[in-house]
Amino acid sequence: MINLLNARYDELYDELVQIRRHFHMHPELSNEEVETPKKVAEFLRNLGMEVRTEVGGRGVVGILKGAKPGKTVALRADFDALPIQDEKNVSYKSTVPGVMHACGHDLHTAALLGVAKVLSEVREQLRGTIVFLHQFAEETTPGGAQFMIEDGCLDGVDVIYGAHVMSTIPVGKVEVMEGYASSAQDDFTIEIFGKGGHGSSPHETIDPLVTGSQLVVNLQQIVSRRVNPQRAAAVTVGSFQSGHANNVIPDRAVIKGTVRTYDERVREMIEEAMKLITKTTCEAAGATYSIHYEKDCPSIWNDPSETKRVAQVAKELFGEDHVSYGEPMMGSEDFAYYQKVVKGSYFLVGGRNAELHATYPHHHPMFDVDERSMAYIGKVFIGTVLNFMNDDLNG
């Protein structure tokens, strides 16, 4: 059966390319998706599925019920774009100024629609239910996943799988990660309030710029001196703004940054350490402060047994030399919220192809990927769904 389904997926390739390119030409920003979810919902309805719209806000959920009883599998794709000008010279370049699909979400969506079409054609042979999650606002904080969960998108689901195309991995390769797959993301804003004055009289001021500079240095010691070297973490200050003139000591400084961790205990420790270091550094300078520390999505934890399932399916489909185990990413992904509710696994597929100039990093104005990566996502999804359902049959 799997060979027939894969052959059918291949037959849909040209159609899926057109769908992907339509989304690429008409991108919509996070929480502003209107036409994209409409098109997704229409496609799923035409397959005879039960479809829910406006799930958690702008999400779409398609439900495919097999003719026979069994467990429920969820598959997820995201469909939001980024506020970046598309600088590629291709026929499917974004038509929306300042907005483009620079992370592959258009391809994820098209690939999952292909899976829905293939599996809907054999529903009479399927055991159980497949839930197609088309998520909005993955790129924002907070992301759309948690709102879709709150709106019941995982009700009755036993397992979930997700995928991401990567311009850093050659097309034709599949990469899985067992255990931690992405970091948790936290963001912080620290305001330091001092006493401004003339640059010639620093003794009459409380300099927030100097205090902030010392604070930036002190924050870097959290990872180097407080985190176990066997536990990965990053504390990054990405923005430091204070003052406008060369001879004026300002009265305020603003520091912004991000924290990335895997282990929840390390995550909690860094937050506490950051607040303590900010307090003591500012107090030592005579300054006051405010700190806003926002926790975004947790780290992805791939269930070991489900990750082995994905890896085995991919090896059977493409050969062992096309599948590898990778290192966890320091980037964040709100797919992690789904895995807080049900077990699952999130894997990567290659989209890099120098001949197509598909080598630029994600979130770059020249970003693109080899569209053949859709077939790798789609076939792994199909194979994994059937494998899980057969496990249920055997168990």
Residues annotated as part of the active site: 80, 138
Q: Report the candidate in 73, 74, 59 with the shortest Cα–Cα distance to residue 134.
A: 59
Dist CA 333 CA 181 (whole Å): 9
H/E run at residue 285: helix 264-285
Task: Give the SS3 label for residue 381.
Answer: helix
Kindly give, in sequence order, each residue whose CB lies less than 8 Å from that of residue 202, ignoring residues fewer than 6 positions away. Answer: 249
CB-based burial label for 181 (10 Å; 0-12, 13-18, 19+): buried
Contact 364, 213 (CB under 8 A): no
- State in Å, rounded, how far the first CA of the chain is from the last one: 20
- Which one-letter DSSP state was computed for residue 150? H
Identify each DSSP E strand in 171-266 by its residue range.
Answer: 174-176, 179-182, 184-193, 197-198, 233-241, 248-249, 252-261
Dist CA 313 CA 311 (whole Å): 5
Asked if residue 361 has a cis previous peptide bond (ω within 30° of 0), the answer is: no
With tokens 């779409």, the residue in question is: 60
The single-letter code of the amino acid at 77 is A
Task: Give the SS3 label for residue 224.
Answer: helix
With tokens 């097999």, the residue in question is: 66
Q: Report the candidate in 159, 56, 143 with the shortest Cα–Cα distance to residue 103.
A: 143
